[in-house]
């Protein structure tokens, strides 16, 4: 790929890239020319195979973001140009029953780890005097409340806020910080929703595009935000939701 959307010669770290959205994003960046490091709690063998089959370059890194400082030393060599903060977890329970452990587990992975991973990446890029791209994965629940997911909703509201704050601080210093807010996407995480006929119908009726999103829909947005085509895009929360938020 050539032109403004090419990622040739750039190195990217994609967290939570063993399945789902992270896998699709890693593959998309690699197809655009990036050298992709797939970071996950478990070996991302399937993702590596997909990238290699597509003719891309990829390697694996084991990182567990239940430790929010897991990536503190990853960027010290200054080699990474792109960071995609995709790793995330969810816990479900009524708010009157929600535990402190479930609150802390979600906030540690979804928000605290995102901030300190971004901090480590930015420190390395700023020290080297080089530009960088940070792409956070937000959610429809960055804007809405949801039900029975209090820590997830709080964390994703926080992701949107941090995206804007970090953009304010780093835009003039050559680091773009943006986020993607996926809509309802066909992944393992939404299999139960799609299998529930009533819930599936209600969701589809709300989506102007009339279909569930595909993981590659998110990958295209990530390639754009990682590329020079988005050099003047800072602090954006890009909804990739089939029009859900416009309804």
- Is 5 inside a domain boundary? no
- Decide if pLDDT at 2 tops 80: no
Residue ranges making up the domain that contains 210:
11-240
Strand order across the beta sheet in which 132-137 lies: 57-62, 35-40, 11-15, 82-85, 132-137, 175-182, 237-240
When pLDDT is averaged across residues 41-57 and rounded to a whole number, the result is 97
- Is 102 inside a domain boundary? yes
- Is 3 inside a domain boundary? no
- Decide if pLDDT at 50 tops 90: yes
**Which letter, b or e, does each residue of 45-60 get, where b requires 16 or more Cβ atoms within 10 Å of its Cβ?**
eebbebbeeeebebeb
How far apart are the C-alpha atoms of 110 and 33, rounded to whole Å? 28
Q: Which of 136, 122, 43, 50 is nearest to 87 (CA)?
A: 136
pLDDT in tens, 106-152: 999 999 999 999 999 999 999 999 999 999 999 999 999 999 999 99
- Is 122 inside a domain boundary? yes
When pLDDT is averaged across residues 38-60 and rounded to a whole number, the result is 97
Residues in CB range of 93: below 8 A, 6 or more apart: 99, 102, 148
How confident is residue 1, by pLDDT bands cut at 50, 70 and 90?
Answer: very low
Extended beta strands in 77-221, E state: 82-85, 132-137, 175-182
Q: What is the CATH number of the domain that holds 130?
A: 3.40.50.720
How confident is residue 190, by pLDDT bands cut at 50, 70 and 90?
Answer: confident
pTM beyond 0.95:
yes
pLDDT in tens, 139-187: 999 999 999 999 999 999 999 999 999 999 999 999 999 999 999 999 8
- Is 120 inside a domain boundary? yes
Known catalytic membership, residue 152: yes
- Is 19 inside a domain boundary? yes
pLDDT in tens, 72-97: 999 999 999 999 999 999 999 999 99
- Is 6 inside a domain boundary? no
Task: Given the residues 65, 75, 80, 152, select the one marked as catalytic.
Answer: 152
- Decide if pLDDT at 193 tops 90: no
Secondary structure string (H, E, C) spanning 222-241: HHHHHCHHHCCCCCCEEEEC
Number of domains the chain contains: 1
Sign of CA dihedral 179, 182, 186, 188: positive
**Half-sphere exposure for 155 (CA within 13 Å, toward CB):** 26
- Which DSSP string corresponds to 120-162? HHHHHHHHHT--EEEEEE--GGGTS--SS-HHHHHHHHHHHHH
- Decide if pLDDT at 188 tops 90: no
- Decide if pLDDT at 5 tops 80: yes
- Is 226 inside a domain boundary? yes
- Decide if pLDDT at 63 tops 70: yes
Residue 192: the pLDDT is 82
222 touches 232 (CB < 8 A): no
* Element (DSSP H or E) covering residue 88: none
Tokens of 242: 């089939």
């Amino acid at each position: 790929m050539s032109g403004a959307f090419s990622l040739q010669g750039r190195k990217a770290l994609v967290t939570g890239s063993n399945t789902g959205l992270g896998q699709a994003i890693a593959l998309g960046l690699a197809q655009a020319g990036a050298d992709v490091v797939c970071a996950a709690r478990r070996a991302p063998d399937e993702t590596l195979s997909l990238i290699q089959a597509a003719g891309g370059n990829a390697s694996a890194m084991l990182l567990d973001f239940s430790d929010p400082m897991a990536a503190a030393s990853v960027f010290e060599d200054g080699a990474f140009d792109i960071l995609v903060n995709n790793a995330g977890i969810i816990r479900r329970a009524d708010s009157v029953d929600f535990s402190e452990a479930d609150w802390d587990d979600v906030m540690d992975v979804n928000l605290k780890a995102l901030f300190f991973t971004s901090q480590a990446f930015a420190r390395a890029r700023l020290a080297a005097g080089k530009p960088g791209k940070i792409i956070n994965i937000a959610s429809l629940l960055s804007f809405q409340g949801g039900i029975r997911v209090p820590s997830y909703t709080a964390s994703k509201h926080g992701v949107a806020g941090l995206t804007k704050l970090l953009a304010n601080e780093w835009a003039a210093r050559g680091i773009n910080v943006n986020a993607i807010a996926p809509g309802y996407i066909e992944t393992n995480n939404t299999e139960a929703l799609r299998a529930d006929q009533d819930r599936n119908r209600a969701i589809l009726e709300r989506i102007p595009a009339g279909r569930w999103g595909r993981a590659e829909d998110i990958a295209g947005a990530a390639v754009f935000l990682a590329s020079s085509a988005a050099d003047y895009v800072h602090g954006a929360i890009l909804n990739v939701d089939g029009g859900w938020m416009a309804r």
